[in-house]
Amino acid sequence: MNYHDLIQAYFERTGALTWYWTVYIAVIGGVLAFSSFRLRPDIATTVLVTLLYAGFAYKNLGAIEGTTLEREALLTALKDYPMSGPEGQGDKRVRELLEPTLQPATIGDVRYFHLACDLMTIAVLWVKEWRRKQTEQPS
């Protein structure tokens, strides 16, 4: 694998990571929209949506963490790639310009952000359920 292939693989994994985050945000939007449009309180539905969302979030986080680890490995390979020989001189300039801009999020950052968003999403589901219950009760 040459330097060009490593760069290409790194950005392919970046595209995959972007896709996982996009799906995650779309699911959060769908879950919250579903919760907002419900008019009557129903604990069973809220429990089911919470469990389904938690399962999705768990699997999505695993995919994001795996892809983040792949990107870290590719970045290490890029930085360790030897720049020798005639073709290495052209890659040297690319390396000088490109590598300082490649600063991926760490696994910890990804995990904590995802978990915070998960907890906020579940909290909103249950606050909306509680508010539906409050508005349905006669005063």
Q: Can you give the pLDDT at residue 88?
A: 59
Instruction: Identify the pLDDT of residue 104.
Output: 84
Q: How many angstroms separate the CA atoms of 53 and 47, rounded? A: 10
Look at residue 127 in the predicted model and tell me its pLDDT. Answer: 96
Instruction: Name 78's Cβ contacts closer than 8 Å, sequence gap at least 6.
Output: 3, 6, 7, 10, 95, 99, 102
pTM over 0.75: yes
Q: What is the pLDDT of residue 66?
A: 96
The string of DSSP codes covering 109-124 is HHHHHHHHHHHHHHHH
- pLDDT at position 98 is 81
Q: Which residue has the tokens 């006669």?
A: 138
- The pLDDT value recorded for residue 108 is 94
Alpha helices in 38-85 (DSSP H): 43-80
Taking the C-alpha atoms of residue 120 and residue 115, their distance in angstroms, rounded to an integer, is 9
Domain ranges of the chain: 3-134
Residues of the chain with pLDDT under 50: none
